[in-house]
Amino acid sequence: MPSADVHKTLRVPFFSFIGKIRKSIGFLVLLAPLILIGMVVHWSITDSRSQARAQIVSASYNLSTNISYALRALELVLSTAANQLSAPDKTLNMKPFLEEISARLPPIKTITIISPDGIIQTDLRPSQPSRGISVADRDYFKVHLNRQTQGYYYSPPITSREDGKMQITISRASRAPNGTLIAVVVVSIDDRFFRRITGDMEQMKIYEADILYRDGSLVYPLIHSSPDEMITPLWVAMLADLLGHDQWIASPRLSIPHSDLDVALRLQRSAYLYAALDRSWPPVLFIILITMVFGFFERFRRRAQDRHNKSIAENIRLNARLRMLYHAAPDAIITVDGQQIIIEYNKVAETLFGWSVDEAMGMPLSRLLPEKARAEHHRTADYFLRKNKQAPYQMAARTVKALHRDGYEFHVRVSIATVKLENGIAATAIIRDVNEMERMNSRLIALSQDLEAQSRRAEEANQAKSQFLATMSHELRTPLNAIIGFSELIQREIYGPISHQRYEGYISDIRHSGEHLLSLINDVLDLARLESGESALEFESVPTRMAIGQAIKQVRGLSKSQGLRLRARVPRNIAPIHGNRRAMHQIMLNLLSNAIKFTPAGGRILVSAAQTADGKIRLIVDDEGCGIPADKINILGQPFRSLSGNSHHANETGMGLGLAISMRLSREMGGSLEIRSIEGAGTKVIIHLIALSDSQAIKDRATPDHEKAPDDGPGRIAI
């Protein structure tokens, strides 16, 4: 391990400091576009506001001029009509005259002539709907009756008594030479009159205008608008609020020429804000594009820098880990440069050669070899380095003599590999003490022999246990047979009648208990023989239908007594099984007994058989019992392990020997036994056994008729 790599650790603080500076610069560079965008938007809003102020002043002047022209036309009509009325021999019925001059006017509602008593005498409209109506209380009549004005009077908006709509009236009095009031001529106008003047401005919905008296009171709201009719982006509106911009830009009040009225025009803030946005988009998009390009390159640079920093940190961690492994290795490791000078030396080498790390560093490798072997070592090392100069990591292994610091020689096994460094080729040697290896081999041999002896003793103990079980069962079987025999004699009353009827029940219980114990002892004996290897089965041809039929026939009475439906489905031409008849019978009895035991009354038990494509016979015993929990299936087949403690099997007894014997007998015949179950939905036991070939099956057809299973049709066995 070259020690020169350690200096890389000094570069980490420097790179960390540079990284912090670059992160700060990167933050400022990313902040600069936001500042530029803010400056651009601020300039656009300020400049657009200035232009909007100039625009509204011009629009206000144009509006006042247009209103003046329209009002001058109305005033001319009023003056003409008033002069005509003051002429000698004129009546108040001037409708033909008014119709003639009104045809040249902008759209007006009507022209009326009011007598001095306040009654409308003439209405310009065809049916004269307002003729005869009194308007003596109206301001536009009273100001002339009371001589409050000598010219024209513009009234505020009023509600028409004829149609209920809003209107504005312009009135003028007609007087005799002596000043007596002859009539009042009134022109009524509504929105149609002003729409010709303000139509374009009103459609834009960015203006608001009023016609005012000179004292500032409202005459008529000329244009209506609302600040929220144009939706302004929230951030732009907030920026305008920060700049102190109001919702409206108001022009100075301008007098309407040749009248006593003023016009006031206002412009919505959103109008110039939208204009500012339109002007801001090109430079803002350019700034964003430049920022994105810079951000992409900055991100690429940071990723490259992060990868570089991670690589440096990983190299440091790797060097530390390798150095730790280097010194924690179980073998001595020595690295030399191209001049055979030691540049790395681990702790095990200290123990092996006696030189400390500080003493060995910079020492020639030849100091670790006997004097007579040094010349040969130099020739071999030079050749090895030249050979592997262009192909590093080439290994070589050999056994050589080494020299301890104390002067004695010992044999070591050396594996050498070349390492390519920045300054040339180095060689690393992994050295193991051969004497230590021999001592370890001796210990391993001794341990192996001890393990073999222990295994042999364990096997002997197991055989002794099986022999004990066999002997014990044999000793118990004889008295049990006697008990069963005597109980049967008593039950049959061979020596005379029993004096009390209750004794028959006791005797029956004695017999059933004895039979149960005998069955248990038989199972224990069978299991002991299977475990001891003494039950070598004699293989023969076992007719499949016969094996199933005989087992079903034997348990038929038990299934009927418990109200179960026991069925079988076996093909007539199914191949025989290559196995043992007694073993097959015992397997089927065990499985059927378990199915009957755990299936409730009214349930069904189905036994089926089929031949698989790989030459096996598949037997299935499927019941509708309570099923087995998933976490309990793995204990089935283990001797003396049953499910009697489970809530679904609390009323059932058993030692778990039936399934254990069935599994072992299936394996003895070269097959397998598998259990599939769903708790609450029944259990399915599947057995795969070897089927006989066609040539062997021919012999099976010679089976005596009395051994064949009863048949009740294709694919079924009579029950």
What does the pLDDT look like over 225-242, one tens digit per residue?
Answer: 665 545 556 666 676 677
Distance CA 394, CA 418 (A): 6
8 Å CB contact between 222 and 59: no
| Confidence at residue 571, expressed as pLDDT on a 0 to 100 scale | 92
| Most confident of the ranges 171-175, 189-193, 534-538 | 171-175
**CATH number of 538-707: 3.30.565.10, 3.30.1220.10, 1.10.1740.110, 3.40.640.10?**
3.30.565.10
- What tokens appear for 671 in the block? 């097959």
Residue 704 has pLDDT above 60, yes or no: no
Look up residue 2 and give its amino acid: P
Per-residue pLDDT, averaged over 520-534, amounts to: 66
Q: Which of 656, 453, 658, 651 is nearest to 551 (CA)?
A: 658
Residue entry with tokens 């009353």: 493
Torsion on CA atoms 581, 587, 593, 595, rounded to nearest 10: -130
Q: What are phi and psi of 505, to 5 degrees?
A: -65, -40
Distance CA 142, CA 358 (A): 125
In the three-class reduction of DSSP (H, G, I as helix; E, B as strand; rest coil), residue 262 is classed as strand
What are residue 395's DSSP bridge partners?
417
What's the rounded mean pLDDT across residues 647-664? 63
What pLDDT shows up at residue 321? 80
Higher-pLDDT residue of 393, 427: 427
- Is the domain covering 74-193 a CATH 3.40.50.1100 domain? no
Compute the average pLDDT of residues 170-179: 87
Per-residue b/e over 671-707, b at no fewer than 16 CB within 10 Å? bebeeebebeebbbbebbbbbbeeeebeebeeeeeee
Architecture of domain 328-434: 2-Layer Sandwich (3.30)
pTM of the model as a whole: 0.37
> Helix-strand-coil percent breakdown of the chain, rounded to 5?
50, 20, 30
Q: How confident is the model at residue 122 (pLDDT cuts 50, 70, 90)?
A: confident
Residue 119 has pLDDT above 70, yes or no: yes
Kindly report the number of other CB atoms within 10 A of residue 535's CB atom.
Answer: 18
Helix (H, G, I), strand (E, B) or coil at 563: coil
- Indicate whether 144 pLDDT > 70: yes
Q: What are phi and psi of 535, to 5 degrees?
A: -95, 60
Average pLDDT, the chain: 76
- Structure confidence at residue 689 (pLDDT): 94
Q: What is the pLDDT of residue 640?
A: 56
Closest to 692 (Cα-Cα) out of 572, 549, 539: 539
Q: What is the pLDDT of residue 578?
A: 92
- Measured CA to CA, the distance from residue 280 to residue 272 in angstroms comes to 12
Chain centroid to Cα 275, Å, comes to 46
User: pLDDT band at 457, cuts 50/70/90?
Assistant: confident
Which tokens belong to 229? 């009719």
State yes or no: pLDDT of 2 exceeds 50. no
- Tens digits of residue pLDDT in 379-394: 777 777 666 665 555 6
Residue ranges covered by each domain of the chain: 74-193, 328-434, 439-516, 538-707
| Other CB atoms within 10 A of residue 431 CB | 22
| Least confident stretch, 34-48, 241-255, 488-502, 532-546 | 488-502
DSSP code of 367?
G
The strand pair at 565-569 and 604-611 is best described as: parallel
Query: Residue 86 pLDDT more than 70?
Result: yes
Q: Would you say residue 53 has pLDDT above 50?
A: yes
Concatenated DSSP letters of 537-556: PPPEEE-HHHHHHHHHHHHH
Mean pLDDT of 485-495: 66
Mean pLDDT of 335-352: 85
| Closest of 292, 274, 294 to residue 41, by C-alpha | 274
Q: Is 44's pLDDT higher than 90? A: no
Same fold: 74-193 with 538-707 = no
Out of 277-281, 331-335, 466-470, 688-692, pick the least confident: 466-470
